[in-house]
Amino acid sequence: MNKKDAKKRIDELKSITAYHAKRYYDEDNPEISDFEYDMLMLELRNLEKEYPDLITSDSLTQHVGGTVKEGFEKVEHEIPLQSLQDIFDFEELYAFDERTKKALDSSEEKEDSLDGTYNKKISYVVETKIDGLSVSLEYKNGVFVRGATRGNGLVGEDITDNLKTIKNIPKKLKEPINITVRGEVFIGKKEFEEMNSEREENEEPLFANARNAAAGSLRQLDSSIAASRPLDIYIFNVQKCESINFTSHIESLKYLEKIGFNVNPVKVLCKNIPEVIKQIEKIGEDRENLTFGIDGAVVKVDDLKQREILGTNFKTPKWAIAYKYPPEQKETLLKDITFQVGRTGAITPMAILEPVKVAGSTISKTTLHNEDFIKEKDLRIGDIVLIQKAGDVIPEVVGVKKEKRNGTEKVFEMPKKCPVCGADAIREEGESAVRCIGIECPAKQYRNILHFASREAMNIKGLGDSIIEEFLNRNMISNISDLYNLKLEDIASLKKDGKKFAQNLIDSINESKNNEFYRLLNGLGIRHIGVKAAKQLAKKYKNIDTLQNATVADLLQIEDMGEIMAQSIFDFFSQNQTKDLIQKLKNQGINMQEEEKENTDNRFEGMIFVLTGGLENYSRKEAEEIIENFGGKTSSSVSKKTTYVLAGEDSGSKLQKAQSLGISVITEKEFLEMIK
């Protein structure tokens, strides 16, 4: 490649790597695999090595990726948190060893060695390269005082409150020492799988890998998010210690364990590079048995005086290097595609594979995510596919060997009916998921019942998630209507001395029979229909029978009712399962009609209110009900149609937008005057 072409490619690579670094470090939402990113960086580094005069300061080879997120205090690292140079074969490891020997041999400080050189005295420590977020922890007199992200290596983010939620970070050390250490926050393999399974059931976006889940958790302004995630940490370096002069890295790690730190469990002292290679290979063989994800092995000079002599570059230390394992891929047969129905009704296609061992695990099935994923990769039943494990945890189909097709392969189609209950399976415009809309589908019952009992729906006090799980597990209920058949003695058997709890729950279930009609409509869980729309439907149609007979065209006559909402309502009430459930609820005596209220005070008719900030005298829901009872409407966003913005304490962007549009802003005191 000539210099002109090299410059063009370097500019392209700088732009591409900067984009993906931002996705990885700042947004914790990567678009490509670590291996693909590493290959881009390797190409950039090699081109810059060949044409050093083309190196510029904006290249990621010259600085650490990552910035300080808005909302966090900046922390200047007294000792920079550098990154490591990556290598991908053992030849580069030998080259690193030769550079290290040469640098030490040419230094003036040789008197400690027997033969006048450092060559025969270089020992290396090999550690696992944990796939997480690098942080520094600062202790004063043995007490944890501050923690920060790496950021750009020189300046990071103060995430002390988030780090305090991690149980393996000691709040107080066993010795009253001033020390700063560096560690890696991560989420274990098992914990990551469980967390993603739960997110899938709740129809939340899945984390791409454990590293980004950990990083995203730590870089939240709300520390309760970090507290809710299974975060862990391993310490791997002393950054600064005022009172102890360690002579070796291994010595420092043993001391850290002694005073209470959770230190990287894989740390092996090696006398030479052949021993280093042997250990790297062993880590590679054992990596599937590790409880945490790794993306390589780190090789460090053990002697701290030698490290001082070797020094650092602008971005990386000269005394350490990271060996990156290539992702292992295997071919296997895609025998079939089956379906898994989640608690929200999302139907997920699953690949049934000829069992194949990948990265130490036998893979026989994996998710194919959705219909678009299958079409994008042109997967067919009977194909030979490529499998790899993402982040050493999740098996995934990464490609298909089309050249191996023989004509017997079958084109895949998503089902039109739910494979569990037979109800319609619908994919709405703009969505990737196909969903079962059957309200009595066994796969959906937990979520259906939980929503039905929720505060804004039927408000059945005492019927929480764990009780519902117990009812279902014991086959005490199988759908919503079964709640009204529960017996006092059955509920009481769930708890020690449970009679009082059982009586309270029975009373709350019976009270729910007389709820307002809109609560039942909201409780049925019609997709896209919340409290506000449920109130509109109840007001318009007065009873369940009239609503069941409404056409899409009829529903579209309701103000603010869009086509998607109208179609969703029509489809829901067209299902036999819906008709069956409603009849069962009728038989139980559930109120299914709107109580006629004579409202003579429509002082807010034609007005639209937007609420922002906290109110002293009312909850937001209570204030909205007052407005609606006076004939007004509420909205969640400010527009030119807004009549008033009711601004409480700590009002945010809605208040600013109202002021910019010239919308009338009222205080709670003024609102109280308006509703007298």
- Nearest C-alpha neighbor of 523 from the set 620, 591, 473: 591
CB atoms closer than 10 angstroms to residue 214? 29
Residue 169: CB atoms within 10 A of its CB come to: 21
| pLDDT at residue 495, as a whole number | 82
Report the share of the chain in percent with pLDDT over 90: 57
**Residue 342, phi then psi, degrees to nearest 5:** -85, 175
**601 pLDDT tier (thresholds 50, 70, 90):** confident
Question: pLDDT (tens digit, 9 = 90+) per residue, 179-215?
Answer: 999 999 999 988 988 888 888 777 677 787 788 888 8
Decide if 201 contacts 343 (C-beta within 8 A): yes
- β-sheet bridge partners, residue 608: 633
Burial class (CB in 10 A: 0-12, 13-18, 19+), 287: buried
Cα–Cα nearest to 345, from 483, 447, 464: 447
Cβ–Cβ contacts within 10 Å for residue 32, how many?
16
Q: Is the pLDDT of residue 351 over 90?
A: yes
Give pLDDT, residue 110. Answer: 52
Q: What's the residue count for the chain?
A: 676
- Say how far apart CA 513 and CA 531 lie, in whole Å: 18
pLDDT at 259 over 90: yes
Confidence category of residue 29, pLDDT binned at 50, 70, 90: low
As a whole number, mean pLDDT of residues 381-394 equals 80
| Residue 283 CA from chain centroid, whole number | 28
- Contacts of residue 521, Cβ cutoff 8 Å, sequence gap at least 6: 529, 534, 537, 538, 547
Token pair listed for 147: 């923690």
- Residue 340 in tokens: 């898994």
Closest by alpha carbon to 230, among 193, 264, 182?
193
Residue partners of 274: CB distance under 8 A and separation at least 6: none
pLDDT band at residue 115 using 50, 70 and 90 as cut-offs = very low
Window from 41-45, 173-177, 220-224, 666-670 with minimum mean pLDDT: 220-224
pLDDT surpasses 60 at 230: yes
In this predicted structure, the answer to whether residue 542 has a pLDDT above a threshold of 90 is yes
pLDDT category of residue 5 using cuts at 50, 70 and 90: confident
Mean pLDDT of the chain: 88
540 counts as catalytic = no
Per-residue pLDDT at 480: 95
Q: What predicted TM-score, i.e. pTM, was given to this entire model?
A: 0.54
Q: Please say if the pLDDT value at position 95 is more than 90.
A: yes
Q: Is 413 exposed, middle or buried (0-12, 13-18, 19+ CB in 10 A)?
A: exposed
Catalytic residue among 22, 69, 129, 267: 129
Tell me the mean pLDDT in the region 596-625. Answer: 84
Most confident of 7-11, 247-251, 358-362, 597-601: 247-251
Say which range, 408-412, 526-530, 551-555, has the weakest mean pLDDT: 526-530
Query: Taking residues 344-361, what's their average pLDDT?
Result: 87
Range with the largest mean pLDDT of 381-390, 567-576, 623-632: 567-576
Is residue 271 scored above 80 in pLDDT?
Answer: yes
Per-residue pLDDT for 107 more than 80? no
- Please give the Cα distance from 634 to 530 (Å, whole number): 14
Other beta carbons less than 10 A from residue 43's beta carbon: 16
Give the list of residues 6+ apart from residue 388 with CB closer than 8 angstroms, or none: 327, 328, 329, 330, 358, 359, 395, 396, 398
- Whether the CB-CB separation of 358 and 389 falls below 8 Å is answered with yes
Phi/psi zone of residue 51: left (φ > 0), alpha (ψ -120 to 50 degrees), beta? beta
Q: How far is the first Cα of the chain from the last one, in angstroms, to the nearest whole number?
A: 81
Confidence class for position 20, pLDDT limits 50, 70, 90: confident
**Cα–Cα distance for residue pair 164/415, rounded to 1 Å:** 47
Domains and CATH numbers, the chain: 3-62 (1.10.287.610), 86-323 (3.30.470.30), 329-411 (2.40.50.140), 442-587 (1.10.150.20), 608-674 (3.40.50.10190)
Asked if residues 176 and 185 have their Cβ atoms less than 8 Å apart, the reply is no
Give the C-alpha separation, 266 to 404, whole Å. 42
* Mean pLDDT, residues 509-519 taken together: 95
Residue 445 has pLDDT above 70, yes or no: yes
In the chain, pLDDT over 70 holds for what percent of residues?
93
Burial (CB count within 10 angstroms: exposed 0-12, middle 13-18, buried 19+), residue 640: exposed
Q: What Rg, from alpha-carbon coordinates, does the chain have?
A: 31
Cα 624 to Cα 608: distance, rounded to the nearest angstrom: 11
The residues, any chain, with a CB within 8 Å of residue 358's CB and separated by 6 or more, are: 328, 329, 330, 387, 388, 389, 395
Q: Which residues of 108-141 are buried (b: 16+ CB within 10 A; e: fewer)?
A: eeeeeeeeeebeeebbbbbbbbbbbbbbbbbbee
Q: How far apart are CA 159 and CA 674, in angstroms?
A: 45
Tell me the C-alpha to C-alpha distance, in Å, between residue 109 and each of 104, 319, 327.
8, 16, 42
Position 486 pLDDT exceeds 90: yes
Both tokens of residue 631? 């004939």
Task: Judge whether residue 114 has pLDDT over 50.
Answer: no
With beta carbons less than 8 A apart as the criterion, state whether 60 and 132 touch.
no
Query: 265: closest CA among 359, 171, 126?
Result: 126
Is residue 321 within 8 A of residue 85, CB to CB? The reply is: yes
Write the CA distances from 671 to 134, 607, 635, integer angstroms: 50, 13, 16
Pairwise pLDDT comparison (123 vs 25), residue with the higher score: 123
Q: Count the neighbouring beta carbons within 10 Å of the beta carbon of residue 273.
A: 18
323 phi, psi to nearest 5 deg: -90, 125
pLDDT exceeds 50 at position 113:
no
Nearest-10 Cα torsion for 509, 510, 511, 514: 110
